[in-house]
Amino acid sequence: MRGTVLYGPGDVRFEERATPTIVDPTDAIIRLSATCVCGSDLWPYRGLNAASEPSPMGHEYCGIVEEAGRAVKTVTRGQFVVGSFAASDNTCPHCRAGYHTSCAHRQWVVGAQAPVLRVPLADGTLVATPDVPSAELVPGFLAVSDVLGTGWFAADAANVKPGATVVVVGDGAVGLLGVLAARQMGAQRIIAMSRHDKRQELAREFGATDIVTERGDAGVDRIIDMTHGVGADSVLECVGTQESMMQAIHAARPGGYVSYVGVPHGVQLDGQQLFFEHVHLHGGPAPVRRYLSELIDLVLNGKINPGKVFDLTLPLDQVAEGYRAMDERRAIKALLRP
Ligand SMILES: [Zn+2]
């Protein structure tokens, strides 16, 4: 088969690779219905993570089980499955506590920007739909596997409650789906921070009640002003930079909650400053597995349509254009069809 490999900054190649096969008896082999480019793929693409050797890319996926290892019990050949970017056993103490991305047996899933993928720990990682879904639901399920799961965790970790005032920092796919999650959790006011027309429009469609275009201190001043000097109950930080993190912390009210789900790059927090902020901080790689069944149901029943974040669809062999379009912010998120 041919799959996606990042050789260095800006150098994405779609090239011949070995077709994955069962390695451990707990593995499953999936033929992908769709895959995509993640915002986090852009960090190494931009040279901001040192890549020492060519790396197979992609960790968002859904598709049909082609083969299940002999120890796999919960999924079988022919089923449509959704999994997360972290394989987990779903049985260890961390999984049972809902922190599957800290699973004692965690393995990162790599190489999903390809037609075929090996998923380790299939029983703990994959959730099957009742039937093979129609093609129009596939983008929604693909979103579940990472961006929606991450946006959902962002809202959950920020303790979004019915009636809450919520701020979402970041208008990438995760931030936009954080808006959708906050709406589903009953937030009353959802303020999306965005300066792009197309993204503002989608934020509103997903449930944002207000848009703030200012950034940094000016953005914080606007939030404080809009909340009558109080600050937000819940703030979702969906970027991972120093500016976005400080913006999130300063936008929260004393006693408020800040979640952070963007991989931090160069973020430094000052202990004394944090002490006087009086905020709850909770983040990390989203334990998407915790939410899979619930989110699959919401998509299946047409309650939500997270697949709308894919505003560019390309054949998989044009994956390099998907990276370019996202890097240049011409696309929110690129869906790739094998
Ligand atoms: Zn575990």
Q: What is the pLDDT of residues 258-280, one digit of tens each?
A: 999 988 989 999 999 999 999 99
Distance 112 CA to ligand 1 centre (A): 22
Q: Are 293 and 314 in contact (CB under 8 A)?
A: no
Measured in Å, residue 128 CA sits from the centre of ligand 1 at 19
Measured in Å, residue 87 CA sits from the centre of ligand 1 at: 9
What is the Å distance from ligand 1's center to 96 Cα? 7
Query: Which residues does 144 contact at the CB level (< 8 Å), separation at least 6?
Result: 62, 82, 288, 292, 295, 296, 299, 306
Distance from Cα 50 to the centre of ligand 1, integer Å: 29
Separation in Å, CA 332 to CA 62, 171, 300, 309 = 20, 9, 23, 6
Distance 296 CA to ligand 1 centre (A): 21
Q: What percent of the chain has pLDDT over 90?
A: 96
Q: What is the pTM of this model?
A: 0.96
CA of 88 to the centre of ligand 1 (A): 5
Helix, strand, coil content of the chain in percent (nearest 5): 35, 25, 40
* 264 Cα: distance to centroid of ligand 1 (angstroms): 24
The length of the chain, given as a count of residues: 338
Pairing of strands 334-337, 312-315: parallel
The list of the chain residues with pLDDT below 70 reads 50-51
Ligand 1 centroid–CA 99 distance in Å is 8
Q: What is the pLDDT of residue 50?
A: 67
Compute, in angstroms, the gap from residue 121 CA to the centroid of ligand 1.
10
Q: What is the pLDDT of residue 166?
A: 98
Task: Say how many Å lie between the CA of residue 102 and the centre of ligand 1.
Answer: 7
